[in-house]
Structure 1
Amino acid sequence: MGAVSAYLSTVEGDDRAALERVYVIAREIVPEAEEGTSYAMAALLYRGKGLIAALRTTKFLSLYPFSGSVVAANLDVLADFETTSGSIHFSAEHQLPDSALRRIIQSRRTEIDAKAR
């Protein structure tokens, strides 16, 4: 069991389903991503770098694309969500639309690829 699978096993109900959805979509976009940790968070890694993490916090669910640039570049599709410089907050009742989630994950993949060249 990888770090993401182990983490998800600790979350129950609608929150777990919402977090699992993030990882399912991320694996569709980046099938070569591997489970691991980044910044002490269970995450999917791509080329050894943090691709995406989705976690439950006390007040909300959070998506971490490990890049303030990715968050900033996608603010236009995140108007209905609270963001910080490095995270996006959502809930099981108010999830990120598939199109926004796919765009964020692809943006992060592109960023990692560009830095690897």
Structure 2
Amino acid sequence: MTLISEYIEAAPAEQKPHLEALYRLAKELLPEATEKISYGIPTFYQHENLLHFAGMQKHLGFYPTPKVIEHFAAQLVSYKTSKGAVQFPYQKPLPEALIRKMILERKKELRLK
């Protein structure tokens, strides 16, 4: 069991479906990345932190970097965002297609460095 699996296992039941879905997407799209807990939350790392995510009380926090959030600003208008974070409420289905695109954009951003 990984540290991220343990984090998800310890999360409240209402958070688990969103956490598991995001974890599954990140594992699929970032197979070379190392999984760890950084800043107390699940992190995918490859030469630098690629993305973080976390179960919050009312939403899943997704932290793919400010550039990625800026790049997808038009598609994120129905979600609360900040410079480096997106909030996906547990009451709404997780937008997996959008998250997939965001993770791939983050991966592309890493390759350009």
Q: Normalising by the residue count of structure 2, what TM-score does the alignment of the two structures yield?
A: 0.87
Distance in 1 (alpha carbons) for counterparts of 2:40 and 2:47: 14
Q: Equivalent residue of 1:93, what SS?
A: coil
Any conservation in 2 of the 1:41–1:53 contact (CA below 8 Å)? yes
Task: Report the counterpart of residue 111 of structure 1 in structure 2.
Answer: 109
Q: Normalising by the residue count of structure 1, what TM-score does the alignment of the two structures yield?
A: 0.84
- The CA RMSD measured in Å over matched residues stands at 1.7
Indicate how the Cα distance of structure 1 residues 57 and 14 shifts in structure 2: closer, same or farther if over 3 A, else same.
closer
Task: Report the counterpart of residue 49 of structure 2 in structure 1.
Answer: 50
Any conservation in 2 of the 1:3–1:43 contact (CA below 8 Å)? no
Paired residue type of 2:33: A
Task: Report the counterpart of residue 13 of structure 1 in structure 2.
Answer: 13
Gaps of 5+ in 1: none
Q: Note the 1:22-101 alignment, pairs <5 A.
A: 22-45=22-45, 47-65=46-64, 67-101=65-99
Indicate how the Cα distance of structure 1 residues 53 and 13 shifts in structure 2: closer, same or farther if over 3 A, else same.
same
Gaps of 5+ in 2: none
Any conservation in 1 of the 2:3–2:36 contact (CA below 8 Å)? yes
Say how many residue pairs are matched: 113
